[in-house]
Chain A
Amino acid sequence: MVNSINTAQYYTMKWFLDLFSSSLGKKLLMSLTGIFLILFLTVHLAGNLQLLKGDGGKSFNIYAEFMGTNPLIQFVSKGNFALILVHIIWAIMLTIKNRESRGAKGYAITNKKSTWASRNMAFLGFLILIFIVIHIQNFYYKAHFGTLPMQVYDGTEIKDLYTEVAFIFSQWWYVAIYTVCMIGLAFHLWHGFTSAFQTLGLNHMKYNPVISFIGKAYAVIVPALFAYIPVKMFFFS
């Protein structure tokens, strides 16, 4: 007789569950989803920058219409939502586990020899989460399920998301929240970008300087450009 437990393990790919429930496997998911989110941000930024074209929103609206209707983009977008959820859920699981591991009793004195961003990834992530919620409610939900005014370009009628964006960006408090959250994102990525490579095991003397340079540059430039859009639209339109 074959041992029943071993048979079960053999057929159920238990090792696969073990991998992703281990501390290293959970970190692996954080890293992979984090890198995917970085790619997503890049594409998202490229789209947003069209708001600044000064053509009354024509190119932005056409772009938004394309993104909102193209089946492939829609598929990737659903996947993107799923990966954000994985990133958040695993972040919460890891943060809880790490708090537990530290134990009930803390130190009276601690002199941290680490960067502030690296110690506050959960807080910074939470800031980004607040942003994502407001953001989805204002833009994604409106564009997909809400009612927007229509605009006619070259004979086709499409939703005028630009006017909605311009309206939202004319409220000072919204621009303020947006900017603060982008600063949070910058710190999250300042640590997160290089951290993701370390988690994947990609730490190599020949490539570390390049990864670090690109990571720091990305962490500053991308959130800065994101924040520049509402600030500019608030002051100059």
Chain B
Amino acid sequence: MKITLKVWRQKDSKSKGEFKTYEHSHVSPDMSFLEMLDVLNTELIKKKEEPISFDHDCREGICGMCSLYINGHPHGPLQTTTCQLHMRSFSDGETITIEPWRAKAFPVIKDLVVDRSAFDRIQQAGGYVNVNTGGVPDGNAIPIPKMIADEAFDAATCIGCGACVAACKNASAMLFVGAKVSQFALLPQGKVEAKQRVEKMVAQMDAEGFGACTNTYACEAECPKGIKITNIARMNREYLGAMLTSYKVEVGGGE
């Protein structure tokens, strides 16, 4: 296969950046998209040119590290991660445009690499359960209906890649936060801290500068893990309930 690539090149976060065009003639339909870029980079290095920077890690669709906005879609034309996208999804002679995720909260670091640490900070704000030390409780001692367990697991499959933010016209992170809130809120272990969790995560999400959902559902359509917008609705009810009823304690211990 022969393809033409239009790639966003940007030296660092402060430079302006621009598209550069590359003719790529060593492409096999069985290559993954990232392998195709690896081959191009090897050629660039041989020519003593700066290789294209892009994020990746597991290359098996589970870590959420790969990104790339390909021909107008996060992770390209299929609903999968870029690392699981193969060149057979494109046609011979096609021009492929590759851009970084665009969002104020995801600044470009270099070329196609963006800083997604905003997601980490949202997780650190409350996306966990506190587990005390002690004996391991018997898993079967806490009955959880199968449907609820499945729903929580579906939410937990979110790999935090940021495709939802990239796809959203408002750069809203609500599908991500909705999934992270839901995976705990549905389960007994997560219910204990559910209220403070959703309050803190939403506050952090707003502080990071993500937009507000206008229910266009572009995120759901593009999510490589098929996370459902029911998770956003759940976050909305959890948040409203928490804000209206969560515990406030008078600190300071009195006078």
Q: Which of A71-123 contact B (CB under 8 A)?
A: 94, 97-98, 100-115, 118-119, 121
Is B210 positioned at the interface, with any CB of A under 8 Å from its CB? Answer: yes
Q: How far is the CB of A113 from chain B (nearest CB, A)?
A: 4
Question: Does the CB pair A23–B72 fall under 8 Å?
Answer: no
Q: Is the interface of A mostly helix, strand, loop or mixed?
A: helix
Question: Does the CB pair A98–B218 fall under 8 Å?
Answer: no
A24-B239, A103-B103 given; 14 more Cβ-contact pairs under 8 Å: A2-B252, A10-B248, A18-B243, A23-B206, A23-B212, A100-B211, A101-B210, A111-B72, A113-B167, A114-B221, A118-B215, A198-B233, A199-B215, A199-B236
A28 to B238, CA, bound (A): 13
Residues of A near B255 (CB, < 8 A) are 1-2
A94 to B103, CA, bound (A): 16
- 6 smallest beta-carbon distances between A and B, as pairs: A201-B237, A101-B211, A111-B72, A203-B233, A98-B170, A113-B221
Question: Does the CB pair A107–B99 fall under 8 Å?
Answer: yes
Question: Which bracket fits the contact residues of B?
Answer: 35 or more
Is A215 positioned at the interface, with any CB of B under 8 Å from its CB? Answer: no
Name the one of B209, B211, B252 contacting A1, with C-beta atoms under 8 angstroms.
Answer: B252
Is A188 positioned at the interface, with any CB of B under 8 Å from its CB? Answer: no
Is B176 positioned at the interface, with any CB of A under 8 Å from its CB? Answer: no
Question: Does the CB pair A114–B170 fall under 8 Å?
Answer: no
A102 to B104, CA, bound (A): 6
Question: Does the CB pair A102–B202 fall under 8 Å?
Answer: no
Q: How far is the CB of B215 from chain A (nearest CB, A)?
A: 4
- Given A27-B212, A107-B99; A119-B169 close (CB under 8 Å): yes
Question: Does the CB pair A101–B72 fall under 8 Å?
Answer: no
Q: Which of B94-127 contact A (CB under 8 A)?
A: 97, 99, 102-105
Residues of A near B85 (CB, < 8 A) are none
Question: Does the CB pair A108–B19 fall under 8 Å?
Answer: yes
Name the one of A24, A94, A114 contacting B240, with C-beta atoms under 8 angstroms.
Answer: A24
